[in-house]
Every structure is written in C-alpha cells, then in structure tokens.
C-alpha cells in the first residue's frame, strides 16, 4: 500500500526540508536588509552633538547620544536644524536631572516616594 501512495504522489516535502527552505528564504530576505540597517542613513553632521557638557560622565553622555540618534531615526526627516539643536539641549538638561535622581541611594526597606504623608 505504501508503494501505491508513493507512485501516485509527487515526492513529499519533509518537515526538515521545509524548515531548511524557510530558513534559507528568510536569511536571503533579511541579510540585505540587515546590511542596509547597519549603514547609517543619518549624515555624520547630524549625529555630532558637540562637546560633552560639564557634570555628565561619559556613560551619561553616551546615553544622551543614544537617545538623540533614536529620535533622529524616528523623526529625522521632519526635524529642522533648529529642532535638532533644541533636542540636544532638552536631552542634556534631562540627563542632568536624571543624574541627580539616580545618585540618591534607596534601600529596600525605604517607603515609597510616591505617597504623600500628612502629619497632623
């Protein structure tokens, strides 16, 4: 009976062969896209933020730079040069505020800062 099925049907596609073909097709589709994504579409002049301001560590400045590049990636075509400079000022000011907040040490037993406690 198995001979009868194999003669009437075309060669079957196994799960392994199907998986390999899907993998190869996906890889061929995504690899050129990944190569294009690695090359920056934003000119180097737009990526330059200027000198690192005082009061920010290298890690904090890298964080500002990463946020700036993400905003350029999302809204880059819609932002004017003035908007980009304003973004840099806003992100730097926010990072200064975050540095002061992050420097405050909190222990596990400390109460939540989100509640207002009135003492009467």
Is the pLDDT reported for residue 36 higher than 60? no
**Structural tokens at position 48:** 């330059």
Rounded to an integer, the average pLDDT of 53-67 is: 88
CA 52 to CA 116: how far, in whole Å?
37
**Structural tokens at position 31:** 């690899």
Higher pLDDT, 100 or 84: 84
Residues 6+ apart with CB under 8 A from 98: 60
Rounded to an integer, the average pLDDT of 61-65 is: 91
Reported confidence tier of residue 68, pLDDT bands at 50, 70, 90: very high
Reported confidence tier of residue 42, pLDDT bands at 50, 70, 90: very low
From the CA atom positions of the chain, what is the Rg in Å? 28
């Amino acid at each position: 009976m198995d001979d009868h099925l194999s003669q009437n049907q075309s060669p079957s596609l196994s799960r392994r062969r199907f998986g390999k073909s899907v993998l190869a097709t996906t890889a061929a589709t995504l690899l050129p896209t990944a190569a294009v994504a690695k090359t920056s579409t934003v000119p180097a002049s737009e990526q330059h933020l200027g000198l690192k301001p005082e009061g920010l560590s290298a890690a904090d400045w890298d964080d500002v730079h990463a946020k700036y590049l993400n905003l350029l990636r999302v809204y880059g075509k819609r932002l004017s040069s003035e908007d980009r400079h304003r973004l840099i000022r806003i992100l730097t000011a926010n990072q200064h505020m975050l540095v002061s907040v992050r420097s405050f040490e909190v222990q596990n037993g400390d109460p939540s800062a989100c509640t207002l406690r009135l003492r009467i």
